Chain A
């Protein structure tokens, strides 16, 4: 029953509160019902009313009615505490699978202060934040990133129970936020055919046999990878030298999905680790995925493009 209703509810919500990077909460977007505390409050009121009726006591009637009226007035206050609040997506940096994805949400008040605004994706606990009148505050929400690809946490729940906690006003806001999740890096050896030559240095990582063409040594300059330090030379008292690798095209490492074994995710994880490794070495490389080829290049943009390709490999966009 509920499973049947869920898609209809979501469709209805999507029509009523369309996705946008900035959403202002208004009467179309706020729902309000008594909370569980509110139901208990009503029960207490009922008991008080029974007392008033049975003892024919006007003051007991009076207090019951006063608290019932407070309940009704609290509807306006609870609604008011949420109404007018503006939520804005404030970016979400890409993460690797297995890490916590961080979504930044900016809460802006145009007029009134907004007290105890709770944000989050249930069933995870909501994060509570005040927003000063005319001010803004930023909330960082975390979601575990378990799989590579686009992580869309879905509609964000915004709720407020202020001032009495007997009512809950809430909205489901789609800030159109998504985080790109790269594959989880997996350290491992790559086949020789990818153009990674042997590097027998002790200083290199167990798997990190070779980058490509070893050209010789050059003086260390700040910014060079510490992994490529020539420790042997250092121990011989030759100073800090860095192994220099050839920058010849065609001889650059060719990271190729097809030449790896294992399942898709393992291969992507291996490739991811190598993209990171080679980028750190500042060594240009090429990446070949079925239906996706990046020519040899280096630099931050190249790294991003490769990681993105790995993250989105085979993922319906």
Chain B
């Protein structure tokens, strides 16, 4: 239809609607000027549509393009990269609508629209975003239908129904492709969206950082165990270790990042679990001690953390197995020893003296640790997210003066004292606990579950974990942060609307957990459906996976689905929609068995009269049927095919079927 170049007005209306729907999900990450450009261009286009304005001339177009280029450069700093690219794409989408004249322009616009929908997924891939994106896709399909020169295309409702019908009918095939189409790694690396706000643990920590995290209800990850979920007091999710202390801040030592397998010995029962991690732009993964994972590009580092080669920039699903009772690193080399005994050159005199004294008192490391923990337990230490300010010797101030703080304070102080006593020790940062979701049988761990604890080393025994916080606030470990802060009421005080604050409302909590469970399923089965997950699912479905069985599944399944759809669309069992005609055909077939065939062009009445002459005994039944048929068909008399069918049945009963002539069979 290239000869007819103009765009039907209805298609233009659809495109205007589709444009709104395409741009809405992008609003969050587009610079404001493009919204202004969009509204201006849309208004202009509507005026053209109403014949009140002309199309932009070459100068106006050039000006707009220059303005867009300058705008992108100013707001994004470059013309390439994903963030700039999306702005350019949306700007092209907006400007193309303005200058659209021909059918080809409209097609370009529709394809641009589909592509813009795809890019919106890179910024937001939640379930709601996916559901919403069906709206612009439907509108774009409707615009495609609107380009057809049919009376149907002029009816918006019929067009919408057709577009929706096409999408619905495509769903089974889409699911088949989604499950079986082989996933592969990226063909080339591409920039990722940058303005995605990420929060979480960092490579170094002051107590204030952990306090910051404790205020955030954002999800960190979800974990689901094979078998029973361990009690939350055993859920210490390691992220990284902090070995270097500069007097204020604990940070990770460069050497810990060496990809050197530490020696360890599997002991006791193992735990298998899978984790869906929210993107945090860091390279470490979360796992219980001591973990192994089959995830591609991931290694265990010398401090037993799991680390990926690439930062986690999108939702990541991985599986891990942990042996909590393993023995870790029976031998420690000199460099590691030095690193884990490091203390700032000066400061904290009281803590150093106390450490030395403890070392004299308890020659065994285990006794010393036990004494330290019971000290925390016995003395009036308090657990609070609002600790008083500390002076320059903050460990001394905390241990001997203020005596109130939270996990980061206790862990840091304990490691300091242990090192002062000559015991190699380090701070472990990660998350502790998590909320169990019974409907989905998984644990969700949020940012406020961030935690720090202590690891110390003994020759011949390796690394052992202890948690000083447990001595001060066991409810933090056993029940969670909310209970630990019950008296203080500082839990999520900055987020008054967070549904987590209203957990005591039964139905609301139920709703929250169900919604979270839905999102969990979405992340696990849809977003996480990449190579590893696909492999697992396909193995379960097909048994073994090779290219032949995959192709067979795709082609066979696709053929089957298409066949079913074709049956439903064509309804071959209802070929003759004219029901009176269908009954008449049955009448003809019945008489044909008695050697009576209707001649071409012979009317119903003539045929019936001829048949009645040939079969005089059935005359009454034949004529009754013919009259009823004529009355319904030609005289416009009301009547139902059912009545005709009854007449036919009477005739069939009247006819002696034994006398049927063989040659009448066809």
Q: Which residues of A are interface residues toward B (Cβ below 8 A)? A: 36-37, 40-41, 44, 47-48, 50-70, 72-74, 76-77, 80, 83, 110-111, 113, 115-116, 118, 125-126, 128, 130, 134, 161-166
- Establish whether residues A73 and B137, one from each chain, have CB atoms under 8 Å apart when the complex forms: no
Chain A residues, Cβ within 8 Å of B125? 57-59
Given contacts A47-B115, A69-B170, A164-B144, could you give 11 more A-B pairs where the C-beta distance is less than 8 Å? Answer: A40-B111, A48-B118, A54-B187, A62-B178, A65-B181, A66-B167, A66-B174, A67-B114, A68-B173, A126-B1, A164-B166
Question: Could you say which of A37, A53, A70, A130 contacts B166, with CB atoms under 8 Å apart?
Answer: A70
Among the stretches B395-403, B526-534, B594-602, the one at the interface with A is B526-534
Check if B36 is an interface residue, CB within 8 A of chain A. no
Residue from A54, A64, A69, A72 within 8 A of B190 (CB atoms): A54
**CB within 8 Å for A72 and B170 given contacts A54-B186, A62-B526, A163-B148:** yes
Is B1 within 8 A of A161, CB to CB? Answer: yes
Which single residue of chain B is at the shortest CB-CB distance from A43?
A: B111
Residue B553 interfacial (CB < 8 Å): no
> Are A164 and B565 also in contact (CB < 8 A) when A56-B186, A65-B178 are?
no
- The reply to whether A128 and B149 contact each other, CB–CB distance below 8 Å, is yes
Q: List, in ascending order, chain A residues with CB within 8 A of B129's CB.
A: 59
Say yes or no: B118 contacts A63, CB within 8 Å: yes
B530 touches A56 (CB 8 A): yes
Q: Does B326 contact A (CB under 8 A)?
A: no
Residues of A within 8 A of B4 (CB): 125
Residues of B within 8 A of A65 (CB): 173-174, 177-178, 181
Measured between C-beta atoms, what is the minimum distance from B66 to chain A in Å?
26
- Chain A binding surface, main DSSP class: helix
- Asked if residues A63 and B137 are in contact (CB atoms below 8 Å), the reply is yes
CB pair A164 B141 closer than 8 Å: yes
What secondary structure prevails in chain B residues at the interface with A?
A: helix
Going nearest first, the 4 A-B pairs with the smallest beta carbon separation are: A69-B170, A69-B173, A116-B150, A115-B150
Given A76-B565, A77-B569, A165-B1, A66 contacting B121 (CB threshold 8 A): no
For the complex, give the distance between the alpha carbons of A126 and B2 in Å.
Answer: 10
Taking the nearest CB of chain A, how far is it from the CB of B567, in angstroms?
10
B562's partner among A37, A67, A72, A162 (CB-CB below 8 A) is A72
> In whole angstroms, how far apart are the Cα atoms of A69 and B558 in the complex?
10
Is the CB–CB distance between B141 and A70 below 8 Å?
A: yes
B541 interface contact, C-beta 8 A: no
Across-interface contacts of A59 in B (CB, < 8 A): 121, 125, 129-130, 133, 526-527
Q: 13 A-B residue contacts at CB 8 Å?
A: A44-B115, A57-B121, A58-B526, A60-B121, A63-B121, A66-B137, A69-B177, A72-B558, A73-B565, A80-B569, A110-B577, A130-B150, A164-B166
Complex CA–CA separation, A68 to B529 (angstroms): 19
From known contacts A68-B177, A163-B162, infer whether A63 and B151 are also in contact, taking CB-CB under 8 Å: no
- Which residues on the B side are within 8 Å of A110 (C-beta)? 577
Q: Is the CB of A62 within 8 A of B174?
A: yes
Q: Which residues of A contact B1 (CB under 8 A)?
A: 118, 126, 128, 161, 165
In the complex, the answer to whether B152 meets A115 with C-beta atoms within 8 Å is: yes
- Is B232 interfacial (CB-CB < 8 Å)? no
B171 touches A165 (CB 8 A): no
Question: Known: A44-B114, A115-B151, A165-B147. Is A55-B167 also a contact (CB below 8 A)?
Answer: no
CB-CB < 8 A to A66: which residues of B?
137, 167, 170-171, 174
Which one of B133, B170, B181 contacts A70 once the chains associate, using CB atoms below 8 Å?
B170
| Most-contacted residue by chain A among B145, B149, B171, B188 (CB, 10 A) | B149
Asked, given contacts A115-B148, A163-B145, whether A57 binds B529 with beta carbons under 8 Å apart, the answer is: no
CA–CA, A72 and B166, complex, Å: 10
Residues A57 and B114 in contact, CB atoms below 8 Å apart: no
A108 to chain B, nearest CB (A): 13
Cα of A61 to Cα of B118 in the assembled complex, Å: 9
B638 at the interface (CB under 8 A from A): no
Cβ of B59 within 8 Å of any chain A Cβ, yes or no, is: no
Structural contact, A63 and B181, CB atoms closer than 8 A = no
Chain B residues numbered 106-148 whose CB sits less than 8 Å from any CB in chain A: 107, 111, 114-115, 117-119, 121-122, 125, 129-130, 133, 137, 141, 144-145, 147-148
- B148 A165 Cβ-Cβ under 8 A: yes
User: B162–A134 contact, CB under 8 A?
Assistant: no
The docked-state distance in angstroms from the alpha carbon of A125 to that of B149 is 14
Pair B570/A80 contact, Cβ less than 8 Å: yes
Nearest residue, chain A, Cβ from B159: A163
Query: Are A70 and B107 closer than 8 Å at their CB atoms?
Result: no
Q: For the complex, is B51 an interface residue (Cβ under 8 Å from A)?
A: no
A99 to chain B, nearest CB (A): 23
B635: interface (CB < 8 Å): no
B566 within 8 A of A: yes
B623 to chain A, nearest CB (A): 29
Contacts of B527 in A (CB 8 A): 58-59
Tell me if B350 is interfacial: C-beta within 8 Å of chain A. Answer: no
> Which residues of the partner chain B approach A69 to less than 8 Å between Cβ atoms?
170-174, 177
A164 and B145 within 8 A (CB):
yes
B497 cross-chain contacts in A, Cβ below 8 A: none
| Chain A residue at minimum C-beta to C-beta distance from B178 | A65
Q: Is B184 an interface residue (CB 8 A)?
A: yes
Interchain CB contact under 8 A, B150 and A51: no
Candidate in A48, A55, A57, A74 with the most chain B CB atoms within 10 angstroms = A55
A61 to B181, CA, bound (A): 9
**A151–B558 alpha-carbon span in the complex (Å):** 48
Is B283 an interface position by the 8 A CB rule? Answer: no
| Interface status of B645 (Cβ within 8 A of chain A) | no
> Does B61 interact with chain A (Cβ within 8 Å)?
no
B593 at the interface (CB under 8 A from A): no
**Residues in B whose Cβ lies below 8 Å from that of A54:** 186-190
Q: Which B549-588 residues have C-beta < 8 A from chain A?
A: 558, 562, 565-566, 569-570, 575, 577-578
With a cutoff of 8 Å between Cβ atoms, the chain B residues found around residue A164 in the complex are 141, 144-145, 148, 166
Q: What is the minimal beta-carbon distance from A159 to any residue of chain B, in angstroms? A: 9
Selected contact of B111 from candidates A41, A68, A76, A80, CB within 8 Å: A41
Contacts of B562 in A (CB 8 A): 72-73, 76
| Residue in A closest to B152 when the chains form the complex, CB atoms | A115
Does B334 sit within 8 A of A, measured CB to CB? no
Expressed in whole angstroms, the minimum distance between the Cβ of B208 and any Cβ of chain A is 35
Max chain B C-beta neighbours (<10 A), residue from A48, A61, A68: A61
- The one of A41, A60, A74 in contact with B122, judged by C-beta atoms closer than 8 angstroms, is A60
